[in-house]
A and B are shown apart, each in its own frame.
Chain A
Amino acid sequence: MQSDIELMLRTKAGDDSAFSELMKRHYKGVVNYIYRFTNMRDNSEDLAQEVFFRVYRSAKNYRAEAKFSTWLYKIATNVSLTHLKGRPKNLSLDEIEETKGEIEDQRVQIADDIIYRKEMKEHIFKALEVLPEREKVAIMLCKYEGFSYEEVSEVLECTVGAVKAYVHRGRMKLIDILEPHLAQGGGYGV
């Protein structure tokens, strides 16, 4: 299997099939990263398209110095932040109302675990949104994208020590914010 860097170099040389292969490898991760970053399911695919479009457009200038995935997620972070800035603040609350409505409609069929996950998702998003953005990015990349501290340090352009500090501080804040939902036994009214 060819590495991401090899595929990107082939893209640079004009081979679009190589870029298709790169997208197949990474689009699900990017879509989910943006989804969790913005908590907007409907837009996340369009924004991921935008991310790959930017990567494709700048392929001609690609230098095989940085790891491809750190470059990709740097752009994904950038696109997500731009999107969040243009979004009305109360939109997230509307989404919660919508979710609760859905739960009301289907309450008979839905298992407790699914209700727990739906509500927990909103609590996690709101908690992550309270964090300074560097802490949020560091935690999301480590937790959901499986990045190492070294890889996160490339995305955030800082030292590994700083990344650890972001993750640890972020975790402390999340423990405080999510305290009611981290009760022993993991139950959420179940």
Chain B
Amino acid sequence: MECRGIQELIVRYSSEDIGEAEKVIVDEHIRDCNGCEQYFLRSEKLWDALDAWDEIEPEGEFVTKFWNKVSVEEDKAKTGFFGYLKGFKPNLAVSGALATVLIVGIFTFALLGPGTLDRAFRSADEKDEMILIELDRVTTSETSELLAIYGPWDNNFDVNGNGGMN
């Protein structure tokens, strides 16, 4: 087996993802090949070397900060709505448009029957629900889209580990 193939086995050796027969192949090869022996040593060292990047200790009060953020966001949402109401100055054109909508609405209600009013009251609750469903959907699709830059998400992936190396 060529050295690059051995090195793939070496990495699997270090990850403890290797069979006994393959272990023997690696052991025999590195006895005679200095390059692969050095590679083996580096491979064994890599995982622990990554520990040189220490964890940080978050500043604390994370949970308190979170709930503050939540209440700020909630206040913002309220202010946004009332701000809109405050800044609302009706003029003739708008009044006319509203009147038209109202008349059309009454006719529609008359045509569709009493169930419509019920539905109108329920729609506020449904809207809340839709926002959350949409948020969930966006978060999920956003994740897939962003991660899609890795390539395809499906399972037809070359698991032999010999593609993509350069």
Give A residues with C-beta under 8 Å from B.
16, 20, 23-24, 27-28, 31-32, 35-36, 41, 44-45, 48-49, 52-54, 56-58, 60-61, 74-75, 77-78, 81-82, 116-117, 120-121, 124-125, 132-134, 137, 143-144, 156-159, 161-162, 164-165, 167-169, 171-175, 178-179, 181-182, 184, 186
B63 touches A20 (CB 8 A): yes
Chain A minimum-CB-distance residue to B47: A143
Ordered nearest first, which 9 A-B pairs have the shortest CB separation?
A134-B150, A120-B52, A161-B159, A162-B157, A182-B42, A61-B136, A78-B143, A121-B53, A31-B58
Query: Contacts A56-B70, A169-B164; is A162 near B46 (CB within 8 Å)?
Result: no
Complex CA distance for A34 and B150, rounded to whole angstroms: 19
A-B contact pairs, 21 of them (CB 8 A): A27-B58, A32-B56, A48-B58, A49-B65, A56-B70, A57-B135, A58-B136, A78-B142, A117-B52, A120-B49, A124-B52, A134-B147, A144-B53, A158-B153, A162-B155, A162-B159, A164-B161, A171-B43, A171-B47, A175-B43, A182-B42
Chain A minimum-CB-distance residue to B64: A20
B139 touches A75 (CB 8 A): yes
Give B residues with C-beta under 8 Å from A.
7-8, 11-12, 14-15, 17, 39, 41-43, 45-47, 49-50, 52-59, 62-63, 65-67, 69-70, 73, 129, 132-133, 135-136, 139, 142-144, 146-147, 149-151, 153-155, 157-161, 164-165
Cβ-defined partner of A168 (8 Å) among B15, B39, B50, B54: B15
B150 touches A132 (CB 8 A): yes
B164 touches A132 (CB 8 A): yes
Cβ-defined partner of A158 (8 Å) among B47, B70, B157: B157
Complex CA distance for A181 and B39, rounded to whole angstroms: 13
Complex CA distance for A80 and B152, rounded to whole angstroms: 20
**New contact pairs (13) apart from A32-B56, A58-B136, CB-CB < 8 Å:** A23-B62, A44-B56, A52-B66, A57-B132, A58-B139, A78-B143, A125-B53, A144-B50, A156-B150, A171-B15, A172-B11, A173-B165, A182-B49
B159 touches A53 (CB 8 A): no
Query: Contacts A28-B58, A172-B7; is A58 near B135 (CB within 8 Å)?
Result: yes
Interface of B is mostly: helix
Q: Which residues of A contact B139 (CB under 8 A)?
A: 54, 58, 75, 78
Chain B minimum-CB-distance residue to A167: B15
Chain A min CB distance to B31 (Å): 18
Chain B minimum-CB-distance residue to A28: B58
